[in-house]
Amino acid sequence: MSTSLARRALTTASRSNGMRMFHASSRAQDHYLDADFATFKKVTTGAGSEGRVQLVDFYAEWCGPCKMLTPLLQDITKDPKSNYLLTGALKPVDLVTINTETEDGQDLSRRYNIRALPTVVGFVGGKQKAFFTGALNRQQIYDFLKSL
């Protein structure tokens, strides 16, 4: 949207009732692809993690099932409607992917005892709640989210 078009929209909106209206809501969901340790820590345990669900997808480039699972997780977490319905509350679902072939990925894999790929760890409010290993189908991922 161009700047002049945005100004016109605001001017029109402000004239309609004499005052400008702004709507603020929490951000829907975020994707942190190939996150490093600092990003992982900020997203899963930082102040912004409260009231949110984080799915942490541990993967490797050579892993066939990982290549099937990650796009499915991205698709599921992109849809705010399914995020809210699946978690049973107004909790957006963020996706963090960790490449286990990087130094940070290897450190995080050891820390969370990742023994097989793909492994997805679910965090709620900064705390690890559950995990699954292997490429699940869409319904199984929905069931996992509901269990968090």
Classify the C-alpha dihedral 55-47-146-142 as positive or negative: negative
Query: Quick check: is 84 catalytic?
Result: no
From 129, 145, 56, 68, select the one nearest 94 (Cα to Cα): 56
Take residue 60 and report the two structure tokens written for it: 């490797």
Query: Quick check: is 71 catalytic?
Result: no
User: What residues contact 4, with CB distance under 8 A and at least 6 apart?
Assistant: none
The active-site residue out of 56, 63, 136, 141 is 63
The active-site residue out of 66, 73, 93, 98 is 66
Q: Which residues are catalytic?
A: 63, 66
